Amino acid sequence: MLIDEYVKLVIKTSKERKKEKMAVNYKINCNGEGYAYPHYWEYCVGSCHAATVLREDVREHIRKAHRDCGFTHLRFHGLFDDDMSVVFSPMMGMGEPIISFYNIDSIFDFLLETGMKPFVELGFMPTPLASGTQTCMHYKGNVTPPADYGKWNAFIRKFAEHLIERYGSEEVESWPFEVWNEPNLNFFFDGTQEDYFTLYENTARALKAVDEKIKVGGPATSVNAWIPEFIGYCKRNEAPLDFITTHHYPSDDPLSTMGMNGPGKKGGAMISPEMLQKIQNIAPEERQKLLEQFMNRENNNPRDILAQMTKKAKEEAGDYPLYYTEWNGSKEYDTCYQAAFAVQTLAYNHGLVEGYSFWTVSDIFEEMGMKPGPFKNEFGIQTNHGIAKPVYRLFQALHEAGDIRLQAEGSHERAEVLVLKKDREIMVFAYNHDLDRRNVQKEEMEITLEGSVKTIKKAVIDEEHCNPLKAWKEMGSPEYLKREHLEVLEKASELVYEEVILQDTGNQTICFTAEPESVTIFKVVMDD
């Protein structure tokens, strides 16, 4: 189906507009000055765990996302995991552990060659340095504190010294260093809040002992947890702290109604300890089913939940820069829902964070093992074959847009617009979104562009357009793809712009249908 057939976009005269009243109306002064709108979502993107970045297919996905979507940093778990061979015992366990930064160098070299930088997540614990045996995920990252802080601190100092020797102090000082991942979830950290604070303080002091200008932060928590307690601890103990990091998803429980997020407690408000224990003790295929049940449960959070959480975290962070080193939707990662969710989130959270890091860049994602099939409802913006999902195309379009935001006169509960300007080009992102698709319905929209318009192009992200998942289902949902399949899916993923024929000069009014969880993008070029 052609976009023209589906959207039925028309340019109407003022007389015609008086005869009809559209359900949703917006007016945009295209000559307005607007205000600064930096692309904070391009600061970083996630990539599962470190060992996957040694793979060439993952590297190609990263290169592509950097080129098309503008992501400047890469963050991943497991930099010190056993599968990275950073700290390992010699054969037969005879002698002191061997330290090797070879694989880390390979990853960091690649990022710098690509034009990116690492957002360095320090974890998990190498087995020879660990105090216990608890692990997480398919790749078995050790989540216990160090057995000996003297040895851990010496290791961190050696790591920092190596980085400066290899890359130079000026380069390393430009990288953010984050201590651990989601220590408020006992799935990721086998310790209390105080245990994490001790780990953070030791790690931060070890880094600063090598170079005072290295930037280090935390607490890297799920659901915005521990920020006031963490800052308080650092101030009382004069522990180094340069920035705050945390994570959020719209499925989170920000009010901690499950009673799990208090000081000194293990676990977090996202998944109960009972569920975590159950997840750890079952077969991988059953584990996946259980996680899907959790992710697909009814969501009672308000539509702007991530903005509410961010505002609270910003207040708690005070003068410290705030980074969300993980964010994503709650489900439907392969569909147009993700694109609508993403643009709505970015429209709402402007001015609250220094940087965002979308989780993740690729479906080559081994937290629960590498499942077959190109569409597995994983977190990535690309499939395991590098096919762009709808949210990838959304980020690509946003990257092309300007960094000046224009106000749009009008409002609606779900159908809204984000307007970005660069010189004489204006991009309008019209989205129709609500969490869990609740209450969202087809809307007729009318956008009036005030000013002398030269050209308009349009593209649509919805169930019928920019939807490789639909194309895959139509070819019979093959589990393993052939070359001819990839060609079809790549074409189906494209964001296709079509020119709109203007019928008069001066102000233009665009009328179109916004389907549920869709994004309609207009590229508008103004006359000089």
Phi and psi at 279, nearest 5°, equal: -60, -40
Q: What one-character DSSP code corresponds to residue 317?
A: H
Which of 121, 178, 182, 332 does the annotation list as catalytic?
182
Task: Answer for the pair 225, 261: CB distance below 8 angstroms, yes or no.
Answer: yes
Query: Which residues lie below 8 Å from residue 449, measured CB to CB, with a gap of 6+?
Result: 28, 30, 426, 456, 507, 508, 509, 510, 524
Residue with token string 């005070």 = 318
**Short-list 275, 271, 242, 234, CA closest to 256:** 271
Which of 42, 326, 378, 517 does the annotation list as catalytic?
326
Whether 201 is a known active-site residue: answer no
Task: Answer for the pair 327, 313: CB distance below 8 angstroms, yes or no.
Answer: no
**Short-list 366, 372, 374, CA closest to 49:** 366
Q: Is 89 helix (H, G, I), strand (E, B) or coil?
A: coil
What are the residue ranges of helices labelled H in 435-525?
468-474, 483-493
Q: How far apart are CA 453 and CA 431, in angstroms?
A: 22
Extract the runs of DSSP E, i.e. beta strands, from 107-242. Answer: 117-118, 120-122, 135-136, 141-142, 176-179, 215-221
Cβ atoms within 10 Å, residue 263:
12
Whether 182 is a known active-site residue: answer yes
| Inter-helix orientation angle 193-210/149-167, to 10° | 40
Q: Could you list the active site residues? A: 182, 326
